[in-house]
Structure 1
């Protein structure tokens, strides 16, 4: 009897602490995108037109955090570098751990923004966003094949400083757009577009930020989240738990292109030299993989606005082609159909 009374007398803070540290603490970890939709619903994310090919459908946990950062992220210095409050990050994270409860899922779907009862700041939301991404199997991209394509694009078009630099940049953006369009899952494509659209928005603001005040005195730039800084922060999240697999995959790559090579031929020759200590090459490969992921992430952020232009072009072409085929099918006679097959 006294035990029951004690339970009823527990304070709100005790209950909150139990909720934060309970079994739901990491229940979104290792859940794929479809599972996240079942757990917390899905909602549309709206980015500025230059950063997204259109409205993006995401699990609500990603939509809510990303939409907040679209509004507040660019003006917050060190937005993804400065950690948020552990207590608030845990509260935001567990809010979306609905565990399949229909009422809770309905609440998150009907309210695609952050819960108003949790007073979170920009760094709290940014940390939650990274935590959600870190729990995705396969990270942001979700596949090694897509990473292979991006690594090849990065390695084959490195020199953008010559007269043909702008043409090479456009070609690189076009190839990136085509690579992303090969992803079968619409949810995955939308997530990729959401992440890099958001990061490009924040990175652009940092790159354009003045480096000196009106008196010519240098402003502190260490907390600006430009393309390189964002690449370093989000590189480890690019393929998440597949990064170790990619290191092994890269050592047996047979396409004739070294996927870990983003440096000069001299550096590659140096890697092929015999190692003095047995097993010394493995840490080198791991470090190379991390640098590779950071470089690919920076490339995507840096070229994203141009990538979006090509995505929109591909989408417009696809819609036009679909309309043409539909119109042809409706107006075709059996005779014309036979003629089309013969020719």
Structure 2
């Protein structure tokens, strides 16, 4: 089968890696593999929300798939199952965190409340208030999204896939109701028996060229939750070992030895017209918070990037066929779910329907 995958973030790269060698695969990416959201985001692998047990199980299965995938690359530096430490210091936040730990543990998830001594073993350089409630999730981790997507795309290439970079798919080509491929921004047409749209937040615009609707949050809308700012610092080796979620700051090691810094409350106003001054101000505030969290931190902000997250309107993945010859794979939790989705989509497009995906069809709002 000729399969065209549009988008080489984690989902698209994992799909190309999974399908190459069995099918005639072409992977199209406007920049390079992992250059978009996957390479910019905080990239936390987790199933840390117990609210929907079914979706929680889906995500825990995805965490297991990550372990299997990484093993095939021989403990790559871009996959780090280093655990996650989180704490709360306000009474209401402590109550919510304690409840979450209890509910996660009841689902069989690695979640426990720990004391200051255990925290010092895990994260010796972090300052936590004496009265904080601290939780640890040993099985969680993160990836360096850019290197991970590049490794997957390169292995796909070695297995026979054609990787087309530097050109964006600007339209779906159709014959009647059937999607037959895409047109690139240089005027070339790429034909396929099946086109898989894994273009993240850009997917609605591409799908609309064939009259197909995808219910994603519009990142250009004022006040949209889709955009965020993520800062990376200069080198700070050994300062943080795993993921750390503190009140007002999330941090983890960056791929070049610095830190990744993010804070939800600083994302207001981060739209497409975010000025360099705003981005510099957010970077400075993130660094100030990091220096409170990590006494003695000497690193400086090296870069602040705008990350646009694909946010389905109801929060759940959008996976499945939308037209003959067209399959869509878009979700907010692409980092966590990408390799698992690749396994299930591979099965499905080769004739073995996946009940695990039934709850996440793109047309569920219409059913």
**TM-score, normalized by length of structure 1?**
0.26
Rg larger for: 1
Higher RCO by CA contacts (8 Å cutoff, separation 6 or greater): 2
Structure with the bigger percentage of strand: 2
